[in-house]
Amino acid sequence: HSRQFEVGVLDWFARLWEIEKNDYWGYITNCGTEGNLHGILVGREVFPDGILYASRESHYSVFKAARMYRMECVKVDTLISGEIDCADFRAKLLANKSKPAIINVNIGTTVKGAVDDLDLVIQTLEGCGFSRDRFYIHCDGALFGLMMPFVKRAPKVSFKKPIGSVSVSGHKFVGCPMPCGVQITRMEHVNALSSNVEYLASRDATIMGSRNGHAPIFLWYTLNRKGYNGFAKEVQKCLRNAHYLKDQLRAAGIGAMLNELSSTVVFERPRDEDFVRRWQLACEGNIAHVVVMPSVSIEKLDVFLNELVKNRSTWYQEKQPPCIAADIGKENCACPLHK
């Protein structure tokens, strides 16, 4: 087994998220979805009659969890940035004051890379009369949960705040060669979930039971080889390159948006599906995005930009480019109406 490596990885993240060794419980999951399934399940076990609140731009695994656990789920509207709209959140909390709240907070949404304002979410809960023993917050870190601690001026995700659990993916920013994730929750909550398994001679509080023994070794190796300074440098490089991509798209007359704390550049969806497949672009409606990762160089971005601009001139010979103001805001749209 690789238990000592798993404990080492969990301790590294516990220090990052500011929780004492004796106060947390965690494990290395098989994927990011399992982290969300676990965090939301802990919230459900703590508050069996609680309502799950999640923004409309939350990862689909959050709504999958609600279906699996037969939880009442309230979708909260988002701002144009993709961040949770706390005015709508407040209205929906006040409509359900009699029931505890289980909240999914996004540390980087899937499509726009938007970071929900954790402090404002907590303020909203307390302003609506929800004391700390009547809400549970799960933070879905996925990709950006590991990047954000190394972004200057970024708000902190910390267990010093009244959150219940945090999960991140290990195969995204860390680059583990197989899907995996890290899930950490408060020790006081996990007892509601765990049960004794005699033939294992231990307690089990995981979702899947079995897990990959290689993943902790890869994660431990990478965390120790790069260290805090290595990750800080990679994060700064990604943010720099993302700003470069956004600026170059705008200079070429292509609508584009980049959230302040993100490396996900959102722009108009290319009209050619072969181009989309070649560059493995994720698309939704009228928009596509590029997630600028450590492996993406300025040279690669230039090749992408040149190809996009060249193809675009043939796509729109007679037609106007689409208006994407409804998706990314009129200040970021480059259609004839909003130029």
Active site (catalytic) residues: 262
- Tell me the C-alpha distance between 315 and 309, whole Å: 10
Count how many residues are written for the chain.
Answer: 339
Extract the tokens encoding 183.
């899930």
- Tell me the C-alpha distance between 96 and 136, whole Å: 15
CA 91 vs CA 74, 76, 96, 135: distances in Å: 11, 10, 9, 16
Extract the tokens encoding 124.
């909203």
- Tell me the C-alpha distance between 46 and 224, whole Å: 35
Tell me how crowded residue 246 is: count the other CB atoms within 10 A of its CB: 20
Contact (CB, 8 A) for 325 and 272 = no
3-state secondary structure of 108: coil
Half-sphere exposure of residue 7: CA atoms within 13 angstroms, side-chain side = 6
Contact (CB, 8 A) for 335 and 324 = yes
- Tell me the C-alpha distance between 43 and 21, whole Å: 21
Residue tagged 């940035």 (tokens): 81
- Tell me the C-alpha distance between 143 and 67, whole Å: 24
Contact (CB, 8 A) for 237 and 294 = yes
Tell me how crowded residue 43 is: count the other CB atoms within 10 A of its CB: 28
Extract the tokens encoding 182.
């890290």
